[in-house]
Structure 1
Amino acid sequence: MEKQELKKRSEVPVELTWDLEVLFATRAEYETALTKMEADVAEFAETFTGALNNAEVIVEAIKAYEAIQTQVSVLYHYANLPAATDLTNADYTQMAGQFDNKMATVSATLSFFDSELTQVPEEILDAVVEIEPLYASFIRHTKADKHIQLTPEVEKALAQLSPTLYAPESIYDQAKLADMDFGTFAVDGEDYPLSFVLYEDFYMYHTDTAIRRAAFDAFSKVLKQYENVIAQAYYSKVQTEKTLATMRGFDSVFDYLLYDQEVDQDLYNRQIDVIMSDLAPVMRKYITHLKEVQGLDKVTYADLKIDLDPEYSPKVTIEDSQKMVADAVSILGEEYTEMIMRAYPERWVDFAQNTGKSTGGFCTSVSANKAHPYILMSWTNHLSNVYTLIHEFGHAGQGIMSSDHNAVVGDNPSLYLIEGPSTFNELLLTDSLTRKTDDPRMERFA
């Protein structure tokens, strides 16, 4: 495997980055829109505070609320997505932080809406759905929230505290992507550059056992230097969730976290049981087979992600992926295929590898389809990248279609459904690859 080196974000070709100008052409436009949103929020509060007493007014209020949420979504993505590409850039992190602080004030101002809605008699809420059936899921949640809603003053205080309550995630990201310096590691007298992204996207899969294990050791050594601060951030998050669960009357933090997903602990526990009881023996058998095939002296944590057949790892460029994706999703119809393939010319995806970039991959959708979805990943010219990409395209497609057919306040599915379209897209890719080859090595790889 070739040696990898990360570029600075400023050195990355623009065609490998996502297009944020779809949101706002300039920073000045963003600032103007931010000011307008704050004014709209103040007007909304002045108009509807104490006025949610009949179905017609509530419908009008929800529509105005949706308009504000759509504005917030566009602003949020413009303010926060740059930081995901480079947390070492102080301007990016400052813009994201400033937006989060403004949103704490906005959320506090808007907190009356949920508080007052949960006090509305159920027959009036039912009348809202009769007027506008698209609000059915929103009203269902509102009726359920009657049992967990705190006093308006407390809800407003919690909204104002939101940057603090979500601080553990920010601390973790800053630590791993901005503060940790992994430097280099040496194998047989040769130095290799290392970073969080390079380890997760490259060295974790390296075919040379000595390099792979040395990278893991160097990576783990740096992580250990931050173990206390990361552990404290994690503990703070768990403690926050437990406190909120208790305040809202939940028996456990599990019930609290599962509440919005509309599932109970039985489903959650069944998933854990399947992983620990049914999947575990299969994985142990696989790891034993991997050890034998690779001729390893032992299997360490550093060896778990290597390919069973490392000499057969098809190289795939971003250009190559277009045909592979189109072939895989074509079974879903021309309309769906055309929708997904817009991602390439419209630059939905940030493919670049650079310092400070978030690890892994994600897809985020802009409310009401006011802009295309945004996907982050790091492309390394491996077939596994196509799986990541088509997975995220599954989220993108679901987001677009959900927004097309649902109200803004009702277009977010339960997390227990959210991975369905993306995982199904991966299966479509496997099916496409195996149907087009007689090579058993390719079939095994897929």
Structure 2
Amino acid sequence: MTNAMPKRQDVDVQETWDTSLIYKDPSEYRQALVAYKEQILQFEAAFKGKLTDCSKITTALKAYEEILILVSRLSHYAFLNLDVDRMNAELASMANEYELAMAATAPKLSFLETELGLQKEELLKQVIAKQPQWTSFLENIIRQKPHQLTPDQEELLANFGPTFQQPYNSYITTKFEDMTFSDFEANEQTYKNSYVLFENDYEISHDTALRRQSAKSFYQTLRAYKNTTAATYLAHIKNEQIEAKLRGFDSTIDFLLFKQNVSRDLFDRQIDVIMEELAPHMRRFVKLMAKSHGLDKITHGDLKISLPSVFNKRITPDESKKFLIDCLGMLGEEYVNMIEESFEKRWIDFAQNEGKATGGYCATLYDGPSYILLSWTGLMNEVLVLAHELGHAGHFQLAKKQSILNYEPSLYFIEAPSTANEVLTCNTLLKQSDDDQFKAYLISELISRTYFHNMVTHLLEAAFQREVYTRLDRDEYLNGDILCEIKLAILKEFWGEEFEIGEDAGLIWIRQPHYYIGLYPYTYSAGLTIGTAMAKELEENPDEVVEKWLETLSLGASLSAQDLAKHAGVDVSTDKPLKDTITYVGSLVDQLEALI
């Protein structure tokens, strides 16, 4: 048997993140949780029904900042520990204690934004004039006025918060606790399968038999949970639809985009232009990869392969540190120090183990580390994931210059710093090399990881979401089979008739947790559009651009997504940055054709 996953307690502690940087142990965490609940009672008693003048609002918002910083610490400690060991009952109990505390306290905090929304606009502008660090937060309160419910209704919705969260919790439970994948045979060997093994290794393997057989095993299990997962997902989007109607929006999509402060035009443009104009370049790329692997046909299980190469070797986490500092060093001493600290102080969880969440992410405490989750394979693909997550880390470490109320920018911008790092890493290496084989390898990795992942995988998720929400708002019947039909049709539209996109591909929607985070998927391609433009500028004009880019990242949510991009020098009010990005991908494929 190969690739059996170790238990969490059996992995090298140096490959794990150190959550004792938040609280030294569960006892200290629980003491903080008790203190937090008392703090909320005091806050409610001090300010509920009293936010009627500039002075009182200012005092309340300062106290509210302290509460949000504490919530950041509590939530990260509760869920980071669980995310790397989801079968651990003690950690699950600790996370449940947090959820119970939030369920009890969130309704007691809901009055703050409700009462602020009921005040005259002139009063809120007075607060802004005296406390400009809260400008974005208070302007957003003003923006939401037309959609605000009565105080009783807002408090009732807050009380139902845990219920609205339940579909996502059910999805995670199904994914990590109920799903078990059958062993499979390939090359006369028996292999274990799991979400982590399939998504991080098998799916991009250059071994065709291993790749295709693992896919059969993987999707066989997903099919068994199709209807349960569909019911879970549909419950989630119906909750969103109900709130959209209550708040007076014309559609659920409009409601979700309003939260991002993004127009429907930008959302639709991102999907429509990529579906039409990027697809030909990506078809060309995949055909090149298939030819280099000697494939007689291209199935959906073959789409994510990169170029076979002698350079496709595994490197250690320590080797990746030097590698990334060399590539991203142009971003300055403070940025390099952040990268070094992330390794030295164990912000990064590299381990592969049973019960660990899939994929990668970066979760930053407002007053602490940026924790990065990976399942390290050591391949170039994974190095680019680390560059991506360090982009998030650098962004949010810089954004701490803002109040926590003006900290997190719109989702439309959130992926720009991370994807810029991926492009910058590969392009730096391309400039440093004269070896055509190495260049071809890097270009194939850049396309198959960065552009495929962000502008194909996630964009096709966005196209799926748009169709599902549209049908939902037309009161059409939806179930697991129909969701699979929608996904399959979108995949076939993008890839065309030359590729063998089988029925199993329709199940791909089951894999994505992004569907439980509003309209998150399209923002990856939006971010990469900005990120590609910035990487080009950072390479060509570092002396002029680096300082401006870092300043943009430090602005947090103080500007809208469009204005943040414009501050950095990218005008997303037009389709030029998106079309330039697609042209750049086409040029990469052209280079690859010339090199292999």
TM interval, shorter chain, is over 0.9
Q: In structure 1, what is the equivalent of residue 127 of structure 2?
A: 128
Q: Following TM superposition, by how much is the alpha carbon of 1:310 offset from its aligned partner in structure 2, in angstroms?
A: 4.8
Give the aligned residue type for 1:63: K
2:408 is the counterpart of 1:412: yes
The one-character-per-residue Cα deviations of 1:271-312 (angstroms, maximum 9, x if unpaired) are 001220111111112222222222212111111111122554
2:375 is the counterpart of 1:374: no
Q: Counterpart of 2:372 in 1: which secondary structure? A: strand
Query: 1: CA distance between counterparts of 2:153 and 2:94?
Result: 28
Structure 1 portions without partners, runs of 5+: none
Kept in 2, the 8 Å contact 1:317–1:382? The answer is no
Give the aligned residue type for 1:33: A
Query: 2: CA distance between counterparts of 1:297 and 1:234?
Result: 37
The one-character-per-residue Cα deviations of 1:298-332 (angstroms, maximum 9, x if unpaired) are 11111111112255413221011111111111111
Kept in 1, the 8 Å contact 2:187–2:209? The answer is no
Q: Following TM superposition, by how much is the alpha carbon of 1:364 offset from its aligned partner in structure 2, in angstroms?
A: 0.9
Kept in 2, the 8 Å contact 1:87–1:174? The answer is no
Query: 2: CA distance between counterparts of 1:187 and 1:384?
Result: 23
Q: In structure 2, what is the equivalent of residue 271 of structure 1?
A: 270
Give the aligned residue type for 2:282: M
Kept in 2, the 8 Å contact 1:207–1:310? The answer is no
Q: Following TM superposition, by how much is the alpha carbon of 1:198 offset from its aligned partner in structure 2, in angstroms?
A: 0.4
Q: In structure 2, what is the equivalent of residue 152 of structure 1?
A: 151
Give the aligned residue type for 2:381: S
Q: In structure 1, what is the equivalent of residue 233 of structure 2?
A: 234
Give the aligned residue type for 2:390: F
Report matched runs for 1:105-184 at 5 Å. 105-184=104-183
2:188 is the counterpart of 1:186: no
2:435 is the counterpart of 1:435: no
Kept in 1, the 8 Å contact 2:84–2:356? The answer is yes
Q: Following TM superposition, by how much is the alpha carbon of 1:179 offset from its aligned partner in structure 2, in angstroms?
A: 1.4
Gap change, CA 1:189 and 1:336, over 3 Å in 2: closer
Give the aligned residue type for 2:21: V
Q: In structure 1, what is the equivalent of residue 526 of structure 2?
A: none
Q: Counterpart of 1:146 in 2: which secondary structure? A: helix
Kept in 2, the 8 Å contact 1:118–1:143? The answer is yes
Q: In structure 2, what is the equivalent of residue 221 of structure 1?
A: 220
Aligned residues: 442
Kept in 2, the 8 Å contact 1:168–1:233? The answer is yes
Query: 2: CA distance between counterparts of 1:157 and 1:89?
Result: 33
Query: 1: CA distance between counterparts of 2:288 and 2:25?
Result: 55
Query: 1: CA distance between counterparts of 2:167 and 2:274?
Result: 28
Query: 1: CA distance between counterparts of 2:146 and 2:309?
Result: 55
Gap change, CA 1:385 and 1:353, over 3 Å in 2: same
Kept in 2, the 8 Å contact 1:23–1:78? The answer is yes
Query: 2: CA distance between counterparts of 1:147 and 1:400?
Result: 34
Q: Following TM superposition, by how much is the alpha carbon of 1:359 offset from its aligned partner in structure 2, in angstroms?
A: 0.8
2:251 is the counterpart of 1:255: no
Kept in 1, the 8 Å contact 2:257–2:263? The answer is yes
Q: In structure 2, what is the equivalent of residue 308 of structure 1?
A: 307
Q: In terms of mean alpha carbon deviation, does 61-70 or 163-172 score higher?
A: 163-172
Q: In structure 1, what is the equivalent of residue 92 of structure 2?
A: 93
Query: 2: CA distance between counterparts of 1:319 and 1:371?
Result: 23
Q: Counterpart of 1:186 in 2: which secondary structure? A: strand
Identical pairs, percent:
39
Kept in 1, the 8 Å contact 2:183–2:192? The answer is yes
Query: 1: CA distance between counterparts of 2:333 and 2:310?
Result: 36
Q: Following TM superposition, by how much is the alpha carbon of 1:188 offset from its aligned partner in structure 2, in angstroms?
A: 4.5
Kept in 2, the 8 Å contact 1:150–1:248? The answer is yes
Q: Following TM superposition, by how much is the alpha carbon of 1:131 offset from its aligned partner in structure 2, in angstroms?
A: 1.2
Structure 2 portions without partners, runs of 5+: 443-596
Query: 2: CA distance between counterparts of 1:285 and 1:435?
Result: 24
Highest RCO, 1 vs 2 (Cα 8 Å, sep ≥ 6): 1
Q: Following TM superposition, by how much is the alpha carbon of 1:419 offset from its aligned partner in structure 2, in angstroms?
A: 0.9
Q: In structure 2, what is the equivalent of residue 339 of structure 1?
A: 338
Q: Following TM superposition, by how much is the alpha carbon of 1:386 offset from its aligned partner in structure 2, in angstroms?
A: 1.1
Query: 2: CA distance between counterparts of 1:94 and 1:231?
Result: 27
2:389 is the counterpart of 1:392: yes
Query: 1: CA distance between counterparts of 2:187 and 2:302?
Result: 19
2:295 is the counterpart of 1:296: yes
Query: 1: CA distance between counterparts of 2:90 and 2:329?
Result: 42
Query: 2: CA distance between counterparts of 1:371 and 1:177?
Result: 28
Q: Following TM superposition, by how much is the alpha carbon of 1:82 offset from its aligned partner in structure 2, in angstroms?
A: 1.4
Query: 1: CA distance between counterparts of 2:354 and 2:89?
Result: 13
Q: In terms of mean alpha carbon deviation, does 271-280 or 303-312 score higher?
A: 303-312
Give the aligned residue type for 2:378: N
Query: 2: CA distance between counterparts of 1:342 and 1:72?
Result: 24
Query: 2: CA distance between counterparts of 1:301 and 1:83?
Result: 33
Give the aligned residue type for 1:429: T
2:420 is the counterpart of 1:402: no
Of residues 418, 421, 427, the one that matches 1:425 is 421
Gap change, CA 1:88 and 1:417, over 3 Å in 2: same
2:206 is the counterpart of 1:207: yes
Query: 2: CA distance between counterparts of 1:266 and 1:341?
Result: 41
Give the aligned residue type for 1:384: N
Give the aligned residue type for 2:56: V
Q: Counterpart of 1:412 in 2: which secondary structure? A: coil
Gap change, CA 1:437 and 1:4, over 3 Å in 2: farther
Give the aligned residue type for 2:353: N
Query: 1: CA distance between counterparts of 2:310 and 2:175?
Result: 32
Q: Counterpart of 1:398 in 2: which secondary structure? A: helix
Gap change, CA 1:188 and 1:313, over 3 Å in 2: closer
The one-character-per-residue Cα deviations of 1:14-51 (angstroms, maximum 9, x if unpaired) are 11111100111111111111111111111000000111
Q: Counterpart of 1:375 in 2: which secondary structure? A: strand
The one-character-per-residue Cα deviations of 1:112-131 (angstroms, maximum 9, x if unpaired) are 11110001111110110111
Give the aligned residue type for 2:123: I
